[in-house]
Amino acid sequence: MNSVQYICIGLKSDSIKRNNPAFKNNNDMGIAERKLEEKQEMRKLILNAARRIFLEKGYEQTSMRNIATEINYSPGSIYFHFKDKGEIFHKLHKEGFELLIGRLKVLDTVADPFERLKAVGRIFIQFAKENKDYYNLMFLVEEPGTDAQSGGFQIAQEAINHLLGVVEECQQQGKFKDMDPEYFTFMVLSSIHGICALFCKDRTTNFMNKTNDQLMQHGYEAFVALLEKG
């Protein structure tokens, strides 16, 4: 009376794997090795779908079912590869940081530390404009993992320390004297972030008939003008 009939048609989606160019070269290695690689490929497949939907629809509108449908999988399957939605977005979070840090790497060629410092802000703003969704994920979304200090933010720490180094170089050249380098770094980052955050949460729209680009560009230039006097 109370029993429920479970009728599941467990169609293993090997056809997907075999037809997908991501799953090739499976013959010339050990089985355990191949299994492990297939699992990693599957993670990539899920992550790619998640990124695609996320970048198109934004964070809140990306559901586990959307992701599953995108790769012709069942929603439950994703949980075999990822603990929960949080883990997927942690990966994308990290991806965003790697993208941003990659752009900041270009500044290694800039000799003058103050020029480098000023360029950091320009790169941040450019990044936020081009990758609004990544920026939201990286800085403006409630942390799902609850354990913020578990290492999910380790990559953020790296970026901060890098900027701290730049500030200290500036100070060695006589700039920003009598400023605590750590709090000064925090302040610079906050100011840049403030501009990006207002933009990414659509709080720049009715700022005295100026376009987003104008506000961010000239707003940051005003900050740079202040820095130049310090």
Partner DNA sequence: CAAATGTACTGAACACTGTTCAATAAAACA
Partner DNA sequence: TGTTTTATTGAACAGTGTTCAGTACATTTG
Contact 116, 110 (CB under 8 A): yes
Closest separation in Å from C-beta 25 to DNA? 14
Binding residues for its own copies restricted to 121-140, rule: CB under 8 A: 139-140
Binding residues for its own copies restricted to 32-71, rule: CB under 8 A: 58, 60
Q: Candidates 70-78, 106-114, 148-156, 174-182: pick the segment binding DNA (CB under 7 A).
A: 70-78
Nearer to DNA, 85 or 175 (CB): 85
State yes or no: residue 175 binds its own copies (CB under 8 A): no
Residue 175 has phi, psi (to 5 degrees) of -85, 155
Partner from its own copies, DNA, none binding residue 153, C-beta < 5-8 Å depending on class: its own copies
Nearer to its own copies, 82 or 135 (CB): 135
State yes or no: residue 17 binds DNA (CB under 7 A): yes
Q: Candidates 2-10, 29-37, 83-91, 148-156: pick the segment binding its own copies (CB under 8 A).
A: 148-156
Residues 90, 153: Cα–Cα separation, whole Å: 9
Nearer to its own copies, 75 or 230 (CB): 230
State yes or no: residue 4 binds its own copies (CB under 8 A): no
Residues 227, 77: Cα–Cα separation, whole Å: 52
Residue partners of 195: CB distance under 8 A and separation at least 6: 125, 128, 215, 216, 219, 220
For residue 132, give both structure tokens.
């609004």
**What is the residue type of 83?**
K
Give residue for tokens 């070269």. Answer: 25
Q: Candidates 11-19, 38-46, 67-75, 206-214: pick the segment binding its own copies (CB under 8 A).
A: 206-214
Residues 33, 205: Cα–Cα separation, whole Å: 53
Residues 119, 51: Cα–Cα separation, whole Å: 28
Among 128, 153, 163, 166, binds its own copies (CB under 8 A): 153
C-alpha separations of 116 from 21, 56, 165 in Å: 42, 32, 11
CA 102 to chain CA centroid, Å, is 12
State yes or no: residue 28 binds its own copies (CB under 8 A): no
Catalog residues that contact DNA under the rule CB under 7 A. Answer: 4, 6-14, 17, 31-32, 34-35, 38-39, 42, 62-66, 68, 72-77, 79-81, 84-86
